[in-house]
Amino acid sequence: MNIKNILFLLLFFAISQSSFAQRDNRFKVGLTGFVCSQINLKYERVLTPRASLQMTVGYRPNLGLTLFNKILDGTNVDNKLSGIVLNPEFRWYFKKDTDTPKGWYTGVFVDYYRYTLNATSEYDNFDDELRLRLRSASIGVMLGAQWYLSDRVSIDWYITGLGVSSNLISARYSTNDPGFDVDQTIEDINETLQDTAPWLADLIVDQISDLTFSASVPFGFVRFRTGLSLGYSF
């Protein structure tokens, strides 16, 4: 048997496998993440015709947030927001008598995300620096639907996910303004938190000096998720 026949058989085998074998892998791209400049990549692994596991990895590049520039006082305001998301899921599809999971599904999810905002500004010829970081871990249940648009291409509508989350916001602020009163600033922040979000605890001050302080505040909250993604099976 010559090399041409061997290559032909290998090609025929590969085509036949891709045409007739059950496709147990789905690679997806989250569409709703692009709204906030975030890239969400998903991989779904089929376990049975009615069950699957999915893993989502999200990343937001270190880009500016225009809205935050409008909130900060001062001139030469600049900020960068970056983040990561990890989200494993187990899915159970309602549709029976099918060779691959599709249609309506329910399941459970666990997710973790961390976002960091670094901002600088000038105010009355003094320089300010602020770093905010949000960490969150949650668990919940979800409902969605996945349909095939063609033999390989699918649309996954994550209709709703509802759960509980444990969160931590931490902040570090520094300035070269000699008139900065760090104690009064912390007191003002605590009063604002009590007025606008009374379920939050007072700031936990981790480090303090004349011109710098870092603090954090933990809180629990309801977690809501939704989204849309485009997938390819192989």
- pTM (whole model) above 0.75: yes
Beta bridge partners of 46: 52
**Residue 197: which of 180, 214, 216, 219 has the closest Cα?**
219
Give the separation between CA 106 and CA 51, rounded to whole angstroms: 10
**Residue 60: which of 118, 115, 112, 111 has the closest Cα?**
115
| Proportion of the chain above pLDDT 70, given as a percent | 83
Ramachandran assignment for 37, one of left (phi > 0), alpha (psi -120 to 50 degrees), beta (any other): left
Higher pLDDT, 194 or 224: 224
Binned at pLDDT 50, 70 and 90, residue 68 comes out as low
Query: For residue 35, what is the DSSP state?
Result: G
Q: Which residues contact 33 (CB under 8 A, 6 or more apart)?
A: 39, 40, 58, 227
Output phi, psi for 227, to 5 deg. 170, 170
Give the separation between CA 217 and CA 106, rounded to whole angstroms: 33
**pLDDT at site 6:** 47
Ramachandran assignment for 229, one of left (phi > 0), alpha (psi -120 to 50 degrees), beta (any other): beta
Which two three-digit tokens encode residue 165?
């989350």
Binned at pLDDT 50, 70 and 90, residue 183 comes out as confident
Is residue 13 scored above 50 in pLDDT? Answer: no
Give the separation between CA 212 and CA 174, rounded to whole angstroms: 4
Q: In b/e form, how buried is each residue of 38-76, taking b as 16+ CB within 10 angstroms?
A: bebebebebeebbebebebebebeeeeeeebeeebeeee
Give the separation between CA 164 and CA 52, rounded to whole angstroms: 23
**For 22-26, 92-96, 117-121, 173-177, which range has the lowest pLDDT when averaged over its residues?**
22-26
Handedness of CA 62, 63, 67, 69 (dihedral sign): positive
Residue 154: what residue type? S
| Proportion of the chain above pLDDT 90, given as a percent | 44
Which two three-digit tokens encode residue 229?
């993604």
Helix (H, G, I), strand (E, B) or coil at 178: coil
Q: What is the pLDDT of residues 123-134, one digit of tens each?
A: 777 888 889 999
